[in-house]
Amino acid sequence: MTAVQFHVNEVFDIAARGGLIAVGSTRNGDFVGIPRLRDEVSGKFIHVLGVDHPTPRTRRTGETILVVDRADAEYVAIGRVWIAEER
């Protein structure tokens, strides 16, 4: 079985939020709950704090919104790919 991939399409740093907002698309399936992700290139674990509520745009595009720890900012960039690991 191929792992679910998350492709970062947009990143927002909203000061009032608890982390960075990563909007992206998934391949090879969807997440169930809060995913455990690793950066495809570096292998670094990405600390996902939560999955945000869908917006009208993400409902239309099928994208997912993740809230990610600011400590991982180096890996939260447009074009990055994160690979889901089984828990």
- Domain ranges (residues) in the chain: 5-85
Contact call for residues 32 and 82 (beta carbons, < 8 A): no
Q: Which H/E stretch holds residue 59?
A: helix 56-61
Residue 1 scores a pLDDT above 80: no
Residue 54: per-residue pLDDT: 87
pLDDT at 87: 63
- Kindly report, residue by residue over 58-85, the tens digit of the pLDDT: 999 999 999 999 999 999 999 999 999 8
DSSP 32: -
Q: Quick check: 2 pLDDT over 90?
A: no
Question: How many Å apart are CA 73 and CA 54, to the nearest integer?
Answer: 22
pTM of the model as a whole: 0.90
Burial class from Cβ neighbours inside 10 Å (0-12, 13-18, 19+) for residue 68 reads buried
Q: Residue 19's pLDDT is what?
A: 95
Q: What is the pLDDT of residues 28-65, one digit of tens each?
A: 988 888 899 999 999 999 999 999 888 898 999 999 99
